[in-house]
Structures are given as structure tokens and as C-alpha cells.
Amino acid sequence: MASDHGFRPVRLTIVDDLRRNRATVFFRALLALPLMVWLAVWAVVALVAGAANWVAALVLGRSPSPLHRFLSRFLRYATHAFAYLNLAAGPFPGFVGRPGYPIDLEIDPPARQSRWSVLFRAVLAIPAILLVTIIAGYGANIYGLNSRATLSCLLSVAAFLGWFSALIRGRMPRGLRDLAAYALSYGAQFWAYMLVLTDRYPSSDPLTAIGPLPVRDHPVRLETGGDLRRSRLTVFFRLPLAFPHLVWLALWGLLAACAGVINWFATLIRGTPPRAIHRFLAAYLRYQAHVAAYLFLIGNPFPGFTGTEGSYPIDLHIAGPERQNRWTVLFRLILVVPALIVLGIYNSLLLIAGFLGWFAALFTGRMPLGLRNAGALVVGYAAQTYAYIFLVTGGYPYSGPAEPRPAPAFPRQPLPVPILAPTPVPV
Amino acid sequence: MAGSVTAAVGKVAETEPRWYQRPATFVLLGGAALWAWAGHALWVSTETAPIAGPQLEASRYFSSSFLERSATYGRFLEIESLLGMATLLVVLALYARHGHRLMRESAAGRIGTGMLLGMLGFGVVWLAEVPFGLVALWWQRRYDVSHQGYVPWLINSFLGLGTTFLFVCLALLVTMGLAGVMRRWWWAAAAPVLVAIGLAFTLVSPYLIPSTSPLRSPQLVADARALEREKGLSGTRLEVQDVHRFTTAPNAEAAGFGPSSTVVLWDTLLDGRFNRSEVRAVLGHELSHLAHHDPLKGLGWEALFLIPAWGLIALLTRRRGGMARPEAVPIALLVLVALQLLTTPFFNAVSRRQEAAADWGALVATREPAAARSLERKLAITSLSEPDPSGFSSFLFDNHPTAMERIAMTYAWEERSANGQQNLGSSHLP
């Protein structure tokens, strides 16, 4: 999958071993209180400094070094504090935003900025505000004056689910940690842009937000091919053009639901899904991915109606039927609840990415890479979640961005997946 | 060698039957005769109502200011509509020429790509027609006929494309699917399939009308049931559609057949501007449509139109590989729409005939010519329709008799009623 490998002036670095102390996890929200209070005080000063930075950048064409240093320090501290609060990092951070925290922020020194972009910063930031609201929770708990806990953004959902997992296992799941890191990365980019530290627009590309991605071998993987060119005519009519597909998908979905129930009984008895039902459900999931990709502008061409593998640039590869643990089959609908919670927020991201992408593609004839990859992340996750619900696979959906293992075929038995990084990952 | 080839060709030419000796010619001629007979049978199945009543002066029923205002209002919309049609044809002609290039935007197979081209064709038409729609809305708002906002209109219109696209896909699935199997003769086979789909749709269409609720007025329900008995009907669903947010114009429709027979009254008809007798006249009119099986006849007319239209499409799309190929779809759209525009005056005439028969049926059932006159007058005033438009305008645009023709009919009914001849001697007009 193509990704935004271009140079970023605001970068998140991760040196985290995923281990969490259960006691600090249990009291995490309370432990983070002093950090939040200090952040609120600092934020008031930062807002004033940000306004001064805006005027200075408008006059000078660049951010003055002292202001830039102060605001960078503030952003770094905010990232540390929120990483701690949301379980993206383990140790308690310092109060001055000093570099060296496991989830850290690197911000480049002041550079020349377009005065037009500085002047209209608040207007230009509107699409990013929409995205940051759903990714990092702007207004809910991002660098915040308002730190009430809600499950309305990816960051808080990752923290909520990670809390239970870390409490039980003493480790933060890699997928949830990376999801939180992605949210923190976007939040940091957003505020760096808003505080006029850089004129580089925040990128929502999950593939480059957190450095090198883990290589995973999930039985359900999305392949994102095709280019970013979009036909303006089909973009304009994208919603009504997808309407026949949506109707067909709904009809097919009724049959898929019935097949899913049959598959549940069959897999519970045999331990393996029947090949014919597996094939039928795999085609349905593939078709669902094609339609979602088309509707949300992740793909350009009009998809076929049969969900044939290899027929669409955004394609789903599903491994053949494999043995599944009967206990996980029996309790599948309960086990899938955390994944559905993540999917609920992910779907909001997909909706906003599609909405913003619609305008962008209509005016430029291209889909922004960040929005395309953010959308593809959601489509892939949705496919893994539904595949898990329908018992097409026993592999639990992986919530973070990942690099699929470039293998020509899936093995019958799932390989052991290094979910937890054995050593710290320097970024 | 060359001589032997010539001889062979000559031999083939001798053995090949001439066009009038081919069985296909006879099949086609037989089909054409059957088509003509069906058209005639359908035409005569609707009795002519005596709309040629006494010659009436519109100024007797409408103020001169209204006549002037409605003429100005109508003329503008007619010119606007003609310009819209011309634009439609130009756009479709351009699309027929260049539309096949959009095939590269599809990863679907043959039929899926055809569907995309069909939908985009209608999408392009929508884009071209949007300015005309907005101008028409501006004009209607200016004359207080509509109070719908421009943005809601645009959004509704855009989202409405989804339904259009769905039908386009269904139609192309049938035609392209059959064309893939039957090649040149798909159009003959497509007719029964689409008639069956049309029949199913006509049956369920009343349930698809949005924002409806059952008619609650006990008096009107009692009136409708009494009229039903007069018409030999029973169990007709009586619904009210909520449209007052978009328009002030009153209207009603009859839809479905058999168990789904439904009369739908717009709520603008029940907002107090029309009295009970007038609403009864509307109910009588719509129930007459159902008694005359007009929804089914409409389907019959559509089938009669589509069979030769598809034949022509099959002929004209051969250059692009026939209807089995997606690149033929833009041409098919152009031919279909052009034929529809060409035949509009004829179908308007059919509709006027059915509407006149329903008017007459309502008079026979309600026996209230004064209420019908008052209704027609109010309908014309509220919808600002010209009571007595020119013959040319009526020929091109009117699918209902004019207000003056309808008023004249009430006098004709009074005259016949006085002579004891209400029933016209027809089985269709009780």
C-alpha cells in the first residue's frame, strides 16, 4: 500500500515495551490528575503564546524561536500526559515535557511558512478539526481543558479497552497501543498546525503516523492497490451510484446472516467451518469491502456485484477454512464486543474521511493519501471484525495499523503472531 | 479459380431466401399486427367522455387578472421546459458519442459496467437539468405555488437519483442479461420479463409512496366507501400523503391494483380550502381510475411503447456490439429518451382520455356537478394552471383535460342527466 513517506516536521517516536504496571493501570485516571491540572494551566499560557505566534508568523513569515521552543515543549508535554492517561505509555511522565519519554514528540525547528496559510489557518483547519474530533477527541480530552472521559474517539476507546487488558495481562495490546499512538500523532500534528509551529497540514495516514509498522499475518487482509486518481463525475455521483450496490449488499446480507448462523452450529460441531459456507461468506465480505471502498472513495472504479477476488483494486484476501477453538466459537458474540466498540468509532472515521475525501477528490481529481489510507484501515478492520463474527476466521481483529506479511498464500494453521514487541521499537 | 468463387457466391445468393421469404419476416409482421391490435384494444378500452360540452368562456369562471397571471406563469414554464428538453437531447447526444470512455472507471464485468454507464448517463442528464429545475422552482416560488427551499430541493433531487439508478440497474440487468444470451432478439424476450417486473412494481408501488398515513376523517372515509360501492370496488386503501412542507398545490392519485388498490390524497387537499363535496369529487375521480384499471392500462401502454423502442435500440446499437456490450448503453439511452420525448404528445392524449373518463365516472358516482365545477375552479387557482391554454400547448404538455374542458363536462353531464343518459351506454363508465 502506498503511504505518505514524505518528511514530517512533527513526528511521534515510540520506545515502549508494552509492559504496564497493574497498580498504575488501575489508578491511571487518578494518577493522571496532576498531569491534567498542570496541562490545563500550561494550556492557558500556550493559547496566549499561540496567538502571539500567529501574529509573529504573519509578520515575519516564520515562528520566532523562543515561542516555537515554548510551544513545542508544551505539545511534547501534552503528548506525554495523554500517552500516560490513555495507557499508550507506562511510566509517569515529567512535568516539563523533556525529551526521552517512551511516547515522544519530535518537532523540527522553525521554518518559513506561507503567510496566506497562516492568515487563514483557522479556516484551513476545519477538515482537520473534523478528523481530530474523531481520532483524538478534540473538545473531549485532547490537550484539554475538558477532560471528561468519553468513548467518542479512537484514543479514548483504545484507552478504555486497553485498561481492561492491561489490568488482566500486565501488558497493553500492541494494536490498541498503536491505535492510541496514531491518535496522539494526529493530535500533535493538528495542534502544531493550529499553534503555527508548522504549515504542514496534519496527515491522517495511519501507515506513517507511528513509524515502522508491525508485520502481521492475519487470515483476513486488505490489499490497497490502485492509484489516487479519481473521476470527478463518478465522485460527484458516488452516493447514488453506490445505491444499487447497497441494496444488493442488504439482500445478500440477509442470506449471509442466515449462513452465519448455520456456520456457527457447524463450526461448533466440526471445529472447522464448512468450505461452501466459508466460500459464500468470504465472497460476501469481499463484496462488502469493495462497496465500502467505492462508497468512501478508497477505490476509484465501480465494483462488480459478485465479490470476486482480484476484481477490485481494494481487495480482501481471506484464507481458507481453518480449525477454530470451540470455546471461542461458542462465545463469539461476546468476544467480539470490544472489536465492535472499536469498529463503531472507526466507522465514524470512515464517514468523515469519505466526506472530506469527496470534496478533495471533486476539486483536485485525486483522493488525499492520508484519507485513503485511513479509510482503508477501517475497511480492513471492519472486514476482520465481520469475518470473526461470521466465523470465517478465528483470528481476532487487529485494531492498529499493520503491514500485511507479503506471502503468496495463507498457511492452513495460523502462525504465532508476535503481538507484543519483544524489544523496544526505536522510531 | 476466380470464376469458381463467383459461381459459388452466385449459388449462395440463389439459395438464400429473399426478405419476404424468411420466417423472421412473418414473425415480425405477425408481431406488428398483434402490437397494433393490442394498441387499438387498449385505446378503445377507455371510453371517450363527452368533454366537448358547451363552449364556455374562461372569463365567466376566472378573473381577468388570474387568467393573465396563469398565462404568464404557464408560458414561462413551457418555454423553460422546451429548453430543458433540447438541452437533454444535446447532452444525451454528447454522452452517446463520448460516454463509452467512462468504461475505464469500472472494475465490474460487462453488465456492471453497463449499469455504471446507464447511471452516469442519468447523472449527466440530472446535472444538465438542475439549472432548469432551479429556475422552475424560482418561478413557482415567485408565484407562491411552491415554498420549497432551493437547497432541500437540490438535496432531495440528488438523493432521488438513487432510486432512479436502482431502476436503471434493474432494467439494464434484464436487457443486457438477455442480450448476452439471445443476441439480436433480446428485445422480444425482454418485453414479458419487464412487464412482469412492471406488474410487480405496480402492485407494490402504493406501499412505496413516502410520508403516507391512513385517511382519518370518518366522513370522508364513509364517502369513499359509498363511492366504492357505486363503482363496484371494495377494500380500497385510503391514504393521505404529507406534502404541505413542499407545496401548496393540491393533488391525488390512484395506484396499485387488486389488493393494493390505493387512493392517495395530498394533505394540501384536506387543509380546509376544499369542502367535503369537492373532496368527494376527487375521491370519485380516483376511484374511477381504479374501476377503469388505469394503473394496469398505463403498464400496458408502457409495454407497447417499449417493445418497438427496444427493437429500434437493438438495431441502432449494433455498431457498438449490441446491447450485450456496455459501450452500447449511452446510445440506448439517447434513443430511449428521444423516443419518449417524441411520443409524449401521444401519451398525453392517452392520459387526457383516461382522465376525462375518470372525471365523467366521478360525476356519475357523485352526481354533484356543481361541486365538480367548484373543485376544478379551485384546483386551477391553487395550482395556477391556465384554464384554457392554446391547443398546441395542450398537445405538448397537458396530460389532463383543461379546467374549462372539465367544467364543460359537468354541464354535459347535467344535460345528459336531465335526459336520463348518465351512463353513456358504456361498460367502462358505470
Predicted local confidence at residue A73, as pLDDT:
94
Q: Which chain B residues are closer than 8 Å to A237 by Cβ?
A: 119-120, 123, 161
- Closest Cβ opposite residue B165 in set A243, A301, A306: A243
State in Å, rounded, how far the first CA of chain B is from the last one: 79
Mark whether B286 is an active-site residue.
yes
Predicted local confidence at residue A414, as pLDDT:
40
Write the pLDDT tens digit of every residue in A346-391.
Answer: 999 999 999 999 999 999 999 999 999 999 999 999 999 999 999 9
Predicted local confidence at residue A424, as pLDDT:
37
B113: nearest CA partner in chain A: A302
Residue with cell 459456507: A277
Asked if B106's CB is within 8 angstroms of A301's CB, the reply is yes
Asked if A243's CB is within 8 angstroms of B166's CB, the reply is yes
- Closest Cβ opposite residue A233 in set B108, B115, B120: B120
- Closest Cβ opposite residue B120 in set A234, A243, A247: A234
Predicted local confidence at residue A211, as pLDDT:
80
Place A405 in a pLDDT band, splitting at 50, 70 and 90. low
**How many CB pairs (< 8 A) connect A and B?**
73
CA angle B116, B117, B122 (to 5 degrees): 100
Predicted local confidence at residue B49, as pLDDT:
67
Predicted local confidence at residue A337, as pLDDT:
95
For A207-244, give the DSSP string.
Answer: TSSSSSPPEE--SEEEEE-S-SB--HHHHHTHHHHHHH
**pLDDT at A418 exceeding the cut of 60:** no
Are B74 and B389 in contact by the 8 Å Cβ rule? The answer is yes
Comparing A413 with A368, which gets the higher pLDDT? A368
State in Å, rounded, how far the first CA of chain A is from the last one: 20
Are A259 and A280 in contact by the 8 Å Cβ rule? The answer is yes
- Closest Cβ opposite residue B120 in set A237, A239, A312: A237
Asked if A301's CB is within 8 angstroms of B108's CB, the reply is yes
**pLDDT at A416 exceeding the cut of 70:** no
Are A183 and A136 in contact by the 8 Å Cβ rule? The answer is yes
- Closest Cβ opposite residue A244 in set B113, B120, B165: B165
**E strands in B148-221:** 212-214
Parallel/antiparallel/unpaired status of strands B252-255 and B262-266? antiparallel
Predicted local confidence at residue A252, as pLDDT:
96
Q: Which chain A residues are closer than 8 Å to B108 by Cβ?
A: 301-305, 311
Predicted local confidence at residue A255, as pLDDT:
96
Predicted local confidence at residue A109, as pLDDT:
93
**pLDDT at A194 exceeding the cut of 90:** yes
Predicted local confidence at residue B280, as pLDDT:
93
Residue with cell 401521444: B346
Three-state DSSP class for residue B153: helix
Write the pLDDT tens digit of every residue in A293-352.
Answer: 999 999 999 999 999 999 999 999 999 999 999 999 999 999 999 999 999 999 999 999
Q: What is the mean pLDDT of residues A13-18?
A: 90
For residue B314, the one-letter residue type is A
Q: Which chain B residues are closer than 8 Å to A239 by Cβ?
A: 158-159, 162
Predicted local confidence at residue A404, as pLDDT:
67
Write the pLDDT tens digit of every residue in A247-280.
Answer: 999 999 999 999 999 999 999 999 999 999 999 9
Burial class (CB in 10 A: 0-12, 13-18, 19+), A413: exposed
Whole-structure pTM value: 0.82
Write the pLDDT tens digit of every residue in A147-172.
Answer: 444 668 899 999 999 999 999 999 99
Predicted local confidence at residue B14, as pLDDT:
55
Percent of chain A with pLDDT over 70: 90
**pLDDT at A1 exceeding the cut of 80:** no
Residues with Cβ < 8 Å from A112, sequence gap 6 or more?
A61, A62
Predicted local confidence at residue B320, as pLDDT:
85
Measured in angstroms, the CA of A347 and the nearest CA of chain B are apart by 22
Asked if A243's CB is within 8 angstroms of B163's CB, the reply is yes
B112: nearest CA partner in chain A: A304
Are A81 and A90 in contact by the 8 Å Cβ rule? The answer is no
Are A79 and A104 in contact by the 8 Å Cβ rule? The answer is yes
Asked if B162's CB is within 8 angstroms of A240's CB, the reply is yes
Q: Which chain B residues are closer than 8 Å to A299 by Cβ?
A: 107
Distances (CA, A) of A71 to A52, A89, A110, A189: 11, 22, 11, 13
- Looking at the DSSP assignment, which residues form a beta bridge with residue B253? B264
The grid coordinates of residue A271 equal 471445529
Predicted local confidence at residue B51, as pLDDT:
59
Measured in angstroms, the CA of A317 and the nearest CA of chain B are apart by 17
Q: Which chain B residues are closer than 8 Å to A303 by Cβ?
A: 107-108, 112
**pLDDT at A427 exceeding the cut of 50:** no
The grid coordinates of residue B187 equal 428485445
Write the pLDDT tens digit of every residue in A105-152.
Answer: 999 999 999 999 999 999 999 999 999 989 988 644 444 444 444 668
How far is B388 from A270, CA to CA, in rounded Å? 79
Residue to substitute from B157, B166, B170, interface A, most A β-carbons within 10 A: B166
- Which residues of chain B carry a pLDDT beneath 50? 1-3, 5-6, 8-10, 12, 422, 424-430
Could you say which of B228, B286, B327, B376 is catalytic? B286
Q: Which chain A residues are closer than 8 Å to B163 by Cβ?
A: 243
